[in-house]
Homo-oligomer: A and B are copies of this chain.
Amino acid sequence: MIGINGGVTAAKGFKAAGVRCEIKQNGLDLAAIFSTSTCSAAGVFTTNAFKAASVIANIEQLKPGRAQAVIVNSGNANACTGEQGLNDVHSIYDYAGNLLGIPKEHVLNASTGIIGVPLPMDKIKSGVKQAVSLLSESGGESASLAIMTTDTCPKTSAYEFEIGASTVRIGGMCKGSGMICPNMATMLCFITTDANISANLLHKALASGVERSFNSLTVDGDMSTNDSLIALANAQSGCDEIIDNSPEYDIFEQVLSRVCMDLAVACAKDGEGATKYVEVQVINAASYDDAKSAAMTIANSPLVKTAIFGEDPNWGRVLCAAGRSGALVIPEKTSLYFGDVKIVENGEPLNIDADAARKPMLERDLIITVDLGVGDQKATAFTCDFSYEYVKINAEYHT
């Protein structure tokens, strides 16, 4: 596979646009993604009991597994908006379907921003109209800008690869910042491909890709009412249909996972107030679940995250988080590294010189490795440090 440009318009037959319709105080705030032919469609959504109206409606809309367009706005999450919120989503399905000349059943919708406030439907409709008129095969970039909230940069990824004699593309865009609800900080991700794949198999590949990427990402442990990952496949590459348990499926899943991973890492690097990007690798665990649980507990620990912000090699906090994670942890078998520097071996500190231990922490990117020494399973969590700026962003934003 090779990396290419274009985000959600990298794949053949996809158009997009990002426009400003004044939902946010400034910047682009509405995006449209459109395929020139109907697509297999699949989605993975927040498990929060409080789901935004668009999430509730999209889950229904996706049951037949077909879609052709997605309308996304930033600045208003359309969450905790009751019946009105659901009605508004259906108005968007209707309105965009009419403008695009496709069935309203083939339109999807996503929102991110403040909650508890009804969508400004006049602005949304003018935005949809404008976006539809501007749809283009080079619109992936403006679309990726229009879904940003507290994000400091747009996030896209795309690859092309071969299936048989055909060149196939998978591209995507997302917004993240805090993995956090509900103000300006939802995770939304949209993936497009010109592969020929059924909706069920696309869902399978998506679920697999999400587990080791977005579900291993944490900025602050919170989960949004709006978190959504939607994938569309329009078959325009001309490749044969990808079937389950085939080498072609394996390749497809691998590339899709890579796109998810790129976008999840980009979210961690752009975590609210982040000054460091951190990968927590837990290796030699008794099970994958143990490895994931230990990695996520360490990645979520405010003590670990503030120590990293302070460039303090406070390994005790890391071991302590592993120890309370519920994973099988035997202190005498546990070793710990900051970068390449081994700090603890089999539960005993190696009394590394403080400057040597601190050296890996001075970099922008830090890898923390915990070797549990009790099995052969591993998992990685993606996160960032916890800075004054995080507190500032989240304390000073007023409802």
Q: Which residues of B contact A47 (CB under 8 A)?
A: 324
Is the CB–CB distance between B319 and A50 below 8 Å?
yes
**Can you list, as one digit per residue, whether each of A367-399 has a CB less than 8 Å from chain B (1) or not (0)?**
000000000000000000011101110111111
Are A314 and B183 neighbours in the complex by a CB distance under 8 Å? yes
Copy number of this protein in the oligomer?
A: 2
Question: Which segment, of A158-166, A198-206, A301-309, faces chain B?
Answer: A301-309
- A329 nearest CB neighbor, chain B only: B49
B316 and A48 contact, CB distance less than 8 A = no
Q: Does A339 contact B (CB under 8 A)?
A: no
Instruction: Return the chain B residue nearest A325 by Cβ.
Output: B49
Set B183, B221, B323: member contacting A316, Cβ < 8 A: B183
User: Which residues of the other chain, B, contact A396 by a CB distance below 8 angstroms?
Assistant: 310
A255 at the interface (CB under 8 A from B): no
Enumerate chain B residues within 8 angstroms of A360, measured Cβ to Cβ.
Answer: none
Q: Which chain A residues in 260-289 approach chain B with CB under 8 Å?
A: none
B344–A80 CB distance below 8 A: yes
Instruction: For the complex, give the distance between the alpha carbons of A386 and B391 in Å.
Output: 7
A128 within 8 A of B: no
Residues of chain B within 8 A (CB-CB) of A307 are 394-395
Is B116 within 8 A of A310, CB to CB? no
Q: Give chain B residues whose Cβ lies under 8 Å from the Cβ of A2.
A: none
Taking CB atoms and an 8 Å cut-off, the chain A residues in 186-225 that contact chain B are: 220-225
Question: Which residues in B have their C-beta under 8 angstroms from that of A178?
Answer: 303
Q: A49-B324, A320-B222 are in contact. Are A398 and B310 (CB under 8 A)?
A: yes
Q: How far apart are the CA atoms of A189 and B331 in the complex, in Å?
A: 25
* CB neighbours of A75 from chain B (8 A): none
Q: Does A8 contact B (CB under 8 A)?
A: no
Does A347 sit at the interface, judged by CB under 8 A? Answer: yes
Q: Which of B79, B183, B321 contacts A222 (CB 8 A)?
A: B321
**A48 — which chain B residues lie within 8 A by C-beta?**
320, 323-324
Cβ of A224: which chain B residues have Cβ within 8 Å of it? 320
Contact B222 A323 (CB under 8 A): no
Q: Is the CB of A306 within 8 A of B395?
A: yes
A290, chain B: closest CB distance, angstroms: 11
A51 to B182, CA, bound (A): 37
In the bound complex, residues from chain B placing their C-beta under 8 Å from that of A365 are none
Cβ–Cβ contact B315 & A116, under 8 A: yes
Establish whether residues A50 and B314, one from each chain, have CB atoms under 8 Å apart when the complex forms.
Answer: no
Q: Check B183–A397 contact: CB distance below 8 A.
A: no
Q: Which of B221, B223, B312 contacts A397 (CB 8 A)?
A: B312
Question: Which single member of B51, B306, B329, B330 contacts A390 (CB below 8 Å)?
Answer: B306
Contact of A303 among B116, B220, B319 (CB under 8 A): B220
A230 at the B interface (CB under 8 A):
no
A235: Cβ under 8 A from any B Cβ:
no
Among candidates B221, B317, B354, B397, residue contacting A182 with C-beta atoms closer than 8 Å = B317
Chain B residue nearest to A223 (CB atoms) is B324
Q: Contacts A324-B47, A392-B388 given; indicate if A399 touches B302 (C-beta within 8 A).
A: no
Q: Which of A222, A329, A354, A395 has the most CB of B within 10 A?
A: A395
Query: For A366, what are the chain B residues with a Cβ–Cβ distance below 8 Å?
Result: none
* Known A323-B50, A386-B391: A347·B80 in contact at CB below 8 Å: yes
Contact sample, A vs B, 7 pairs, CB 8 Å cutoff: A80-B348, A82-B348, A220-B301, A306-B395, A314-B397, A386-B391, A388-B391
Known interface pairs A221-B300, A314-B397; 5 further A-B residue pairs with C-beta atoms within 8 A, sorted by A's residue number: A48-B324, A182-B320, A222-B324, A386-B391, A388-B392
